[in-house]
Structure 1
Amino acid sequence: MTHTYRTTETYDPPDRRDGLRARAGRFALLPLRIFLGVTFIYAGIDKLTDSQFMSATGSGSIGELMSSVRDTSAVPALVDLALKSPEGFGYAIAFGELAVGIGTLVGLLARLAALGGALISLSLWLTVSWQTEPYYYGNDLAYLMAWLPLVLAGAPLLSLDALIAARRRRIP
């Protein structure tokens, strides 16, 4: 006499869609990297090529902008520091934006670049756009939040960081 045992559980092979979802998830931060990288490169170039902006005084200058937000900023001491050398501060922000944008776009030291972008956005939010009401009209806070996923995840795909890591794994 033979017995046949039946189980209620069946083996389901991994769904092809799960593999596609996992691969798609790896690309999820790429649009954000491209947007933030291009935007910060553009912002840095825009500042560097605008002689009116890179002045201590005058209409549209960094000095005038910082003077106008000094009393309404969350951290007036930060504005006072910028006002000691408005042109130097303008150049520091512009070159910082360029470095952050390039690092983010090509994925080189991506977490460090994203941290730099977050710190620039935070400093601008606490000074220039702090008085914006309601708060969600100010774009610096949104940029700060956009940088945080890149600070946490870096650039694991289509980046120089990933290329360098792959080369290190191949070298015994």
Structure 2
Amino acid sequence: MHRDALRIYLNDHLSGATSGVELARRIARTHRSSPRASELRRLADDIAEDREALRELMGILGIPPHRYKIYSGWAMEKAARLKPNGRVLRRAGLSTILELEALRMGIQGKYMLWRALTPVARLTEGISTARLDELLDRAESQLATVEDLHLTAAETVLSREGS
């Protein structure tokens, strides 16, 4: 196992996971009165649990989390809110579409992380390949959920006449 590469890789994913949790929570908060609010809350909770699973795996591997990576992930999500969305004072529907696309990319990256850790698990006592399989299954479910939410948002925003 290449310890330095693993340390950098996992801390980079921890940064991304921090951004993903913040983004998923913000999407859930923004749409708390929508018909799909409970689905969005569950998605945000699952993404937060996945971040904790990553931290647990890092602990098993003896890889400390780098605080600056955590803070940079948090700050990146906040900075992404500053993008122009075609409206000055209120939220645009395009924001939801782009946020769901960013969330999907993060989930895809997380899926690839769990896949990449499978050979490491075979070499490491304390990391279960069955646990990684569960995390992979959950990532696939999250991808399906986000794709469905994205399709709904795109149909609503991009197909509406006069938008």
TM over 0.5: no
Point out which structure has higher relative CO (alpha carbons under 8 A, 6+ apart): 2
Larger CA Rg, structure 1 vs 2: 1
